[in-house]
Structure 1
Amino acid sequence: MSFQIKEQPAVFDVCIIGSGAGGGMAAYQLSKAGAKVALLEAGGYFDPADPKYITQLKWPWESPRRGASTTRAFGDFDAAWGGWEIEGEPYTRKSGTQFDWFRSRMLGGRTNHWGRISLRFGPNDFRRKSIDGLGEDWPITYDDVKPYYDQVDKLIGVFGSVENLPNDPDSIYLAPPKPRLHELFIKKAGKSVNIPVIPSRLSILTQAINKDRGQCFYCSQCNRACQAYADFSSSSVLVIPAIKTGNVTLITDAMAREVLTDPATGLATGVSYVDKIKLTEHTIKAKVVILAASAAESARLLLNSKSARHPGGLANSSGVVGKYLHDSTGASRSAFLPHLMDRKRYNEDGVGGAHVYTPWWLDNKKLDFPRGYHIEYGGGMGMPGYGFGWGMENTNGKYPGPDGQMKPAGGYGASLKDDYRRFYGAYIGMAGRGEAVATADNYCEIDPNMVDRYGIPVLRFHYKWSDYERKQAKHMHETFEEIIHALGGVANGTKPGPENDYGLAAPGRIIHEVGTSRMGNDPKTSALNKYSQAHDAKNVFVVDGGAFVSQADKNPTWTILALSWRASDYIIDQVKQKNL
């Protein structure tokens, strides 16, 4: 497939690829500093406050398909345009391994849908090799990032409670919402078995922090993106304000092909992209190029940006681009709580996520796996959807009667409705999210035999869980059963065993992949320096999860935001010093 090359006459100060957490933060900070920014987004425009896009507060039966199917990975109303499979944008897997790659094609990327779990990495998370001998230490410490975490807290807002946990640093918190009934039971059960259950740490505004954003009204639908801007999405909190500075040129439906470089110096000169609607190719000229397309997509761009000066791909003289890919581990279990049957029905929606969670509480030196996990909880009386949400299907059609004997549930007609009412709100769920150990053998590379519909070579993934992750998942399930027992609950389903990796979700399914262009002090073993700047081309930066050396047992978004802000400050400083 060939395209007509159309040159963009302007030379931008910065071209940013991707408008999610990292790209949005860079656009916000650099545009405020006066830089002329071209922001490329592979998806369409999105503003959760625009009536054209609002799905918040719609009833299940307003779904175009009435629940029969969906055009989105998490349901018709979910603010995630994209998924693990996108027509015309394939990827492949190598040697029988599995990695499922989620792409979000919309302004703000995945931040429109995510759970808003906003956890700082702790001091130990930057020095794992020093602790357990596995992987590598980061070239920075918690103290280097702390000022940026603080600034992100103030700019975006996060609720929680001060707990003074050594490796789960406290943020500058807004007041957390009160636990709901099922969460009070979980707190009580956790206390009885010495498992901490504390207020969640979510970037949702329980109180207004400025005139541009509203306060959460507890509809519990943050996954639909908030029309009041009361939760954090890059589109509403960063990109749209950046556009209002007048310094950002947003180009949507722009699929980046490669970063262009100068043959003599090897420095970036701009970006080639395909207009997905017109199928024409264009060039953006820029003095600085920032990749923020997600860890795997940015690796794809770097690997596809080959030249005489960069024969293995841009920023890849070390050969590490694409390597050390790792996603959070994930395992889950649900349970039926007989004492919550026949609950009084009332509104307890709350925020779109759990009001409580369990941070990692044990010492891995005393366990048979090296890295920790946290636990996220679900339950309550949120609005059911089509075919799920009531929980009765999880009991194999039976429930304990007053005499303790299991009795049949369901049927049809009045009996079915009566049983649904009895079961509503009597279920809890828990999900572990843990740290995997980054290894060079988990990677993405360019598939030599396949291109996407735009003629761009696609990624091929190679990924396997190790015994570290399997043993961690085994421990998760032992913990889940301990909590369920303390709750007086009945675990649903069969406890996973070694035959299915102890219930580990497939790599990529937690959508936390990081590590494909990791930072480090040594250009021979890393792609970026401690400021997220490419060793091989000083005007190229990567500000998504690709820069991560390790994942931690926390969700990565808050660290992506902090490191992008840090890189932006560095870019501003280097421009002032005429080094860029």
Structure 2
Amino acid sequence: MQIKAQPTVYDAIIVGSGAGGGMATKVLADAGLKVAVVEAGPYFDPALPEYQTQLKWPYESPRRGAGTVRPFGDFDAAWGGWEIEGQPYTHKDGTKFDWFRSQMLGGRTNHWGRISLRFGPRDFKHKDVDGLGDNWPIGYEDVKPYYDKVDKLIGVFGSRENLPNEPDGFFLPPPKPRLHELYYIKGARKAGIPVIPSRMSMLTKKINNERGVCFYCGQCNRACQVYADFSAGTCLIFPAQKSRGQVDLFVNSMVREVTTDQEGRATGVSYINREDRKEYQLRGKVVILAASACSTARILLNSKSPQHPNGLGNGSDLVGKYLHDSTGSSRAAFVPSLMNRELYNEDGVGGMHVYSPWWLDNKSLDFPRGYHIEVWGGMGMPNYGFGFNPNEFNKFFGLKTGGYGEQLRKDVRKYYGSVLGFGGRGEAIARKDNYCEIDPTTVDEFGIPVLRFHYKWSDYERKQARHMQETFEEIIHNMGGEPLGPTPTAEQDYGLETPGRIIHEVGTTRMGDDPKTSVTNRYQQLHEAENVFITDAGPFVSQADKNCTWTILALSWRASEYIVDQLKQQNI
């Protein structure tokens, strides 16, 4: 195959345009650097009519918005999914792992829940607490200045609570709880579970002239046409294009490998254009991989050379190892006192207005680490599968519901808004034997070797999920509700989601001070190639009981400032 080399030499080539890649683009372009952003999917801007799904009615979709073609529904701003035609992945030893890929400018940040939590001091040093896993080589004090910067640049609503291991930040005013959340507050607090305003990156007040303010349509997963919610494209890459640097976008470009010279230093990347199916090369002084934890591991493992026979940065044989996703177990409830509700607009932001951070001491429990509780419900826009399932009501409560025509309309009005649910999102223990590697016999439609996954939950995660279910049932009882469906059993892993389903995968290129036990240093720089950095969640040593995006952003900012400094000193 003839490979076409581009003549431009960039200061930095950034692979991936999500949280980590977007932040690196913004920081480096603001510093005046010439940057190339390489994205596997197409261009996307929710402000342009051709990309908008926000404020569309369900009947404008041939499937009434159902998730039969796209994983989260026709209107969701996630182009990709767990299965992508022509881009398979495989499994080893009968294990399961579902790998979500969002291929578009901005990546997963276009549709994510925007739950924006800082890791706490204990989360960086958890081995000191329970002896499990490893400590990070950095601590909260190293990341705090960058959390502060992210809060101020992007905007996050919340409240100052002074809770241990739940660091406060710089918050915009939070929206008020809706009716179903008031029920949750009552049930949770009766069980001794704290409930506080959510911390989410939607603008409840204006912070600059580039972005609008949330108008509470409740459709943040569709990506906001006024840029009121955080997406990497709208809030980082587009502003970077207006800064004093140069930003060139290469969309629909599947990166095959990082190219290297005879000294083992990176010289750029090789990618396949999805439109003409030809292979191209970009040249750069620095390569930043931010393609997501697993995609970055795949690129490194496929970047073999005489200097890096085991894959770039993989002399320790740890690239792809210590993969872990958040734990997740959920429950829904029917609350009879919420039947026959008065109909009014209570959409709010696209997600929860309140949540429960981890509240217990593990010394009195039979599992390590913890989880937070996310809440859903209310009277969102009805579409196919919007939460009223006649079969479930008939099966579990003996209620004669459903049918067609007028009877169906009466039942929908009667039960609309009477169902709410909870999701526990917790921390798994990072283990070396959970990993991704290159499948020796399978390639994708572009001829690039694919990943093979090996992943198992341990009893730590199963016991955590059992505790989630016990907690949910107590809250439901306190609300005067009835659980929908039977309690998940031990044989069902207490409702634990398949690994990968929470889409918080981290840890495949872990950071550390010792090159023998880590892939990158504390600035996310490869031990074995000083001009290659990783700014996605791969360098995470552990996950914490929080969503990982705010930490990806903060660490990417920190690494990017280090890159600028090292370039000025001509160290890389």
Compute the TM-score of the two structures, normalised by the length of structure 2. 0.98
Q: Quote how far apart the aligned CAs of 1:212 are.
A: 0.4
Q: Does 1:458 align with 2:450?
A: yes
The worse-fitting range, judged by mean Cα deviation, of 454-463 and 406-415 is 406-415
Q: 1:516 aligns to what?
A: 508
Q: Does 1:564 align with 2:556?
A: yes
Q: Quote how far apart the aligned CAs of 1:419 are.
A: 1.5
Q: Is the 8 A contact 1:268 1:537 kept in 2?
A: yes
Gaps of 5+ in 2: none
Of 409, 414, 419, which aligns to 1:422? 414
Q: Is the 8 A contact 1:299 1:516 kept in 2?
A: yes
RMSD: 1.1
Q: Is the 8 A contact 1:397 1:410 kept in 2?
A: no
Q: Does 1:235 align with 2:227?
A: no
| Paired residue type of 1:564 | S
2: CA distance between counterparts of 1:75 and 1:69?
A: 4
Q: 1:19 aligns to what?
A: 17
Q: Is the 8 A contact 1:397 1:408 kept in 2?
A: no
1: CA distance between counterparts of 2:115 and 2:321?
A: 26
After superposition, the Cα gap between the structure-2 partners of 1:424 and 1:137, relative to the gap in structure 1 and judged at 3 Å, is: same
Q: 2:568 aligns to what?
A: 576
Q: 2:322 aligns to what?
A: 324
Q: Quote how far apart the aligned CAs of 1:413 are.
A: 3.0
Q: Does 1:471 align with 2:488?
A: no
2: CA distance between counterparts of 1:398 and 1:305?
A: 54
Q: How many residues align?
A: 571
1: CA distance between counterparts of 2:491 and 2:71?
A: 28
Of 421, 442, 446, which aligns to 2:434? 442
| Paired residue type of 1:378 | W
Of 50, 75, 81, which aligns to 1:83? 81
2: CA distance between counterparts of 1:407 and 1:285?
A: 66
Q: 1:403 aligns to what?
A: none
Deviations 1:501-556 (A, max 9, x none): 00000000000000000000110000000000011111000000101000000000
Q: 1:282 aligns to what?
A: 280
3-state SS in 2 of match to 1:555: coil
Of 202, 205, 208, which aligns to 1:207? 205
Q: Is the 8 A contact 2:387 2:419 kept in 1?
A: no
Q: 2:258 aligns to what?
A: 259
Q: Does 1:491 align with 2:497?
A: no
1: CA distance between counterparts of 2:254 and 2:342?
A: 51
Q: Is the 8 A contact 1:153 1:172 kept in 2?
A: yes
Superposition pairs of residues 153-192 of structure 1, within 5 angstroms = 153-192=151-190
2: CA distance between counterparts of 1:515 and 1:398?
A: 41
Deviations 1:486-506 (A, max 9, x none): 001001001001111000000
Compute the TM-score of the two structures, normalised by the length of structure 1. 0.97
Gaps of 5+ in 1: 400-405
Deviations 1:183-209 (A, max 9, x none): 111111222111111100000000110
1: CA distance between counterparts of 2:112 and 2:66?
A: 24
Superposition pairs of residues 268-279 of structure 1, within 5 angstroms = 268-279=266-277
3-state SS in 1 of match to 2:143: helix
Q: Quote how far apart the aligned CAs of 1:416 are.
A: 2.2
Q: Does 1:248 align with 2:244?
A: no
Q: 1:362 aligns to what?
A: 360
Q: 2:386 aligns to what?
A: 388
Q: Is the 8 A contact 2:100 2:503 kept in 1?
A: yes
2: CA distance between counterparts of 1:559 and 1:502?
A: 29
Q: Quote how far apart the aligned CAs of 1:309 are.
A: 1.1
1: CA distance between counterparts of 2:140 and 2:441?
A: 42
Q: 2:292 aligns to what?
A: 294
Q: 1:53 aligns to what?
A: 51
Of 107, 120, 132, which aligns to 1:134? 132
| Paired residue type of 1:159 | F
Q: Is the 8 A contact 2:321 2:508 kept in 1?
A: yes
Of 530, 534, 538, which aligns to 2:530? 538
2: CA distance between counterparts of 1:186 and 1:28?
A: 39
| Paired residue type of 2:367 | F
Deviations 1:284-305 (A, max 9, x none): 0000000000000000000011
| Paired residue type of 1:286 | G
After superposition, the Cα gap between the structure-2 partners of 1:319 and 1:492, relative to the gap in structure 1 and judged at 3 Å, is: same
Q: Quote how far apart the aligned CAs of 1:32 are.
A: 0.7
